[in-house]
Structure 1
Amino acid sequence: MTTDNKNIVQGALTALVATGDVDALASLLSDDFVHHRPDATSKTKAEWLAAVGAALVPLGGMQVEIQHVLADGDHVVMHSKRRLPGAGPEIAVVDIWRLDEGLIAEAWEIIEPVTQAAANLTWWESADH
């Protein structure tokens, strides 16, 4: 099951990036899919697919380099580096996916611009120290 879940997640990202086809991704999401954000907002399947579709236009040609894919039971964690074409900024992304009966049921995503990583390592320090 763990290997199958990894293959489903990798296949979803590969299909999306290679084709830009949100419909190919839609078939891999459960009807009650929820996408969670760090700011405590969430999106339904339809809302998230619409947001992904809207982002694909300005992100066309984005390069995705998968660094790690780890699976434990029904959860898959993917760490990737992504870059826009040309001299676009590089971002580090950690996605956590929960699968249920072969479909992606939930997703969490953390995105960090690589150039800001050092500043984020000292987030607990006050600005006036």
Structure 2
Amino acid sequence: MTTENKSVVERALAELIGTGDADALAPFLSDDFVHHRPDSTVSTKGEWLAAVRAALVPLAGMRVEVHHVLADGDHVVMHSRRGLPGGPEIAVIDIWRLADGLIAEGWEIIEPVSEAAAHLAWWEPAG
């Protein structure tokens, strides 16, 4: 199951990057798919696909370097670095939960690489 789940996530990303079309993700998502953001925003399948679709135009030409894809049971974690030509680079952690061979739930954390050092000291008192 772990290998199959990892393959589903990798194929979904390959389809998105290969076609540049958010609708290419739809067959990989369950009908009740839910996407979570760090600010507690939750999106349905339709809402999330619309957001991805809207982001694809300004993100055309984005470089995606997948560094790790780890799977454990029904969860797959992907660590990547992404960037636009001449633009800032971001580090992204995606966590996907799969059910019945489809992506049922997703979480995403994005950090601009240029801000990483400052974020490593969040616990230090301001001063």
Amino acid at match of 2:117: A
SS at match of 1:6: helix
Q: TM-score, normalised by structure 1?
A: 0.96
1:2-34, CA deviations, whole angstroms, 9 ceiling, x for partnerless residues?
A: 111111101111110121111110111000000
- Structure 1 segments unaligned to the other structure (5+ residues): none
CA distance in 1, matches of 2:121, 2:34: 31
Greater Cα offset, 118-127 or 102-111: 118-127
Regions of 4+ moved over 2 Å: none
CA distance in 2, matches of 1:84, 1:11: 22
CA distance in 1, matches of 2:17, 2:125: 39
In the other structure, the counterpart of 1:61 is 61
CA distance in 1, matches of 2:114, 2:101: 36
Alignment of 1:1-129 (within 5 A): 1-85=1-85, 87-128=86-127
Q: Percent identity?
A: 73
Number of residue pairs matched by the alignment: 127
CA distance in 2, matches of 1:22, 1:51: 9
Superposition RMSD in Å: 0.7
- Structure 2 segments unaligned to the other structure (5+ residues): none
CA distance in 2, matches of 1:127, 1:15: 44
CA distance in 1, matches of 2:125, 2:52: 35
Amino acid at match of 1:48: W
1:24-47, CA deviations, whole angstroms, 9 ceiling, x for partnerless residues?
A: 101110000000011111000000
Q: TM-score, normalised by structure 2?
A: 0.97
SS at match of 2:95: strand
